[in-house]
Structure 1
Amino acid sequence: MAALGASYQGIKKAIDVGRDISGMAGTVGQWSKAMSDIDYMEDRARNPPAYKLFSNTETDVLELWAHKQKAKEMREELKNHISWTYGPSAWEEILRMEAEQRKIQRELVYKKQEFIDNCLNAIIIGLLLLGGIASLVFVLYLYNERNGNY
């Protein structure tokens, strides 16, 4: 959320001093990345990895909702400000940049996180299976010990 707020302020300042949209590519890129991160966090909240199922996610969901609402307000204000100052085509250019940044983020960052989540899920499942098998072997051992099969 800090990156979103910083890039929002940077874009607003640049517009106020009359900079061209194309000259704000870095700031718009930061804005797009922050918006993409919020969308990704929402996707993860809807479909959390297995290790997150055992923790309290209510606070995460409430915090995410608050961030989304703030981002929505900022986005609407930027849209109005940019459309008024540069015209609707400038906002369309920002949307195009945002879509491009989402694609890059998905390829670079999110796939890596999904891989880590899948590895953690596999480890958890493996440990549970190992524990189940060990418990079954122990019960069979106790059963055979009691019946004198050893």
Structure 2
Amino acid sequence: MSDNRTWRARLIATSAPAAVIWIRVYVGVVFLTEGILKFTRPDTLGAGRFDKAGIPAPGFFAPVDGVFEIVCGALILAGLVTRLAVVPMIVDMVGALLITKLPIVWGDAPLFARESGFGDFLHEARLDFAQLCGSVFLLLVGAGSWSVDARLTATARSAASH
């Protein structure tokens, strides 16, 4: 590649196969849906859940998290700036695991009062782990050939060769 390759070009570059679309659809739909649910079910999945988990300023952080999940989920689905879109979602999943799921291990999880121990932690954290792994995968390989990122990369290459 030439020395003129910008950070933006590296951000959207992808040589991953078209099959990556399956990971993008799964990860994107789950984030998009969860973000919407933070607004449509605020008592159980939005500010109420954040409050019960002990997250400070739940009325602020739940909607902010919801907006990030909606925007990033839509970007991941489209395959547009995918690597950038998954970074806040990785932070989101690490936070969810540490704040709401890890306390299950020692039986001190307000959201999961009846669960305790490592087995219950693994059970309750399975979606968070799947989302985290899918997001890290997309960070590493990019959006794949069936994405807006791939089209933008091809357009940039074509313009650079002329």
- Give the shorter-chain TM-score range: 0.3 to 0.5
Bigger share in helix: 1
Question: Considering only CA atoms, is the larger Rg found in Structure 1 or Structure 2?
Answer: 1
User: Which one has more relative contact order, counting CA pairs under 8 Å at least 6 apart?
Assistant: 2
The TM-score normalised by the length of structure 1 is: 0.33
